[in-house]
Amino acid sequence: MSNWIRRFGAWPAWCFMALFFALPLASLVPEAATEGGSAFARLWANPLLGKAFINTLVLGLTAGALSGLVGTVIAIELARQPEARRRWMMTLLGLPLAFSGLVIAYGFILAFGRSGFITQLLVAVGFDGAVVGNWIYGAAGLGCAYAYYLVPRVALSLYPVFANLDLRPMQAARTLGATRWRAFRDTVITEVAPSVLSNACMVAAIAMGTYGTALALVGTQLNILPLMLFAQVSDGGSDLSVAAALSLVLMALCVIVMGFGDAIASKRAGHHAGSH
């Protein structure tokens, strides 16, 4: 029985992935290629595509950078805590992952929107309400909203990296005369940077492909690729071939970003294995 499980036990999982992951994505290709691939020509001719592409990149980079930075700091703090305190801190970190994008968007509107209580406090001390009340509806503001549930992903993923970090190379560098910063840069940063960048790329790709929070928070005020795709497949959309072509473009963008992070992590892993 155990031999059968080792040999065939993964087949149900592979069948599930083929039916509900690979097949839906593969079906986009023939749909986009109908009429000789003219859907791509119509997509490139859309004057909104360029701005949507730039806004999507800004959104992903903002969310990835902010989530990577804050998540790294939280992961370091988690690794320093005793077991009992770390357990409840990790429980609290997991709560945003269970929230709906609609709930998150509404919360940010109440806090940072044009009539939000933080906006009103800033206006009371002299800030321009038209400026501080509108930033949340742009790509950078949406990236901050995405970071609300992306930061926990990064922190929980990076916690094992910092919990198992070997500080002996840094101590040896200090013993050999390196300054505190030089020892930290050459040992700790070079060790954890690939994992941090890989996680930042992962959450950046998630931010680029997510549309629920964006739809609830900014509606049609922000032109990004996921909302363009939503407009094509909603009741008002009529060109499904263009929707398939846009899906492939968005998927390619996310794959490139995640592939960049994986390449960094793989290069570091290969270098680490070669050094041993």
**Res 273 pLDDT > 60:** no
Q: What is the mean pLDDT of residues 222-233?
A: 87
The C-alpha atoms of residue 161 and residue 172 are separated, in whole angstroms, by 20
Q: What is the mean pLDDT of residues 239-259?
A: 90
Task: Compare 275 and 82 and report the one with higher pLDDT.
Answer: 82
Half-sphere exposure of residue 254, counting CA atoms within 13 Å on the CB side? Answer: 16
**Res 274 pLDDT > 60:** no
pTM: 0.83
Q: Which of 47-56, 124-133, 262-271 has the highest mean pLDDT?
A: 47-56
Which two structure tokens, joined as six digits, stand for 216? 């609830």
Among candidates 215, 210, 228, which has minimal Cα distance to 60?
Answer: 210
* 227, 211 contact by CB (below 8 A): yes
pLDDT of residue 213: 87
Number of neighbours of residue 208 by Cβ within 10 angstroms: 23
For the chain, what percentages of helix, strand and coil (3-state, to nearest 5) are there?
A: 85, 0, 15
Q: What is the mean pLDDT of residues 210-217?
A: 86
The C-alpha atoms of residue 188 and residue 183 are separated, in whole angstroms, by 8
Which two structure tokens, joined as six digits, stand for 131? 């400026």
Which two structure tokens, joined as six digits, stand for 64? 């990835």
Q: How far is CA 251 from CA 35, 88, 97, 225, 241, in A?
A: 22, 36, 23, 10, 15
Confidence of residue 240 (pLDDT cuts 50, 70, 90): confident
The C-alpha atoms of residue 167 and residue 73 are separated, in whole angstroms, by 17
Which amino acid would we find at residue 144?
C
| pLDDT tens profile 129-177 | 878 888 888 888 888 889 888 999 999 999 999 988 887 888 888 888 8
Confidence of residue 186 (pLDDT cuts 50, 70, 90): confident
| pLDDT tens profile 55-94 | 999 899 889 999 999 999 999 899 888 888 888 999 888 8
The C-alpha atoms of residue 242 and residue 237 are separated, in whole angstroms, by 10
The dihedral region occupied by 254, where left means phi > 0, alpha psi between -120 and 50, and beta the remainder, is: alpha
Half-sphere exposure of residue 149, counting CA atoms within 13 Å on the CB side? Answer: 20
pLDDT of residue 1: 53
Among candidates 141, 136, 137, 119, which has minimal Cα distance to 128?
Answer: 119
Average pLDDT, the chain: 85
| Residue matched to tokens 């593969």 | 26
| pLDDT tens profile 1-35 | 556 666 666 788 888 888 888 888 888 888 888 87
| pLDDT tens profile 37-60 | 788 898 999 998 999 999 999 899
The C-alpha atoms of residue 213 and residue 217 are separated, in whole angstroms, by 6
DSSP annotation of 22 reads: I
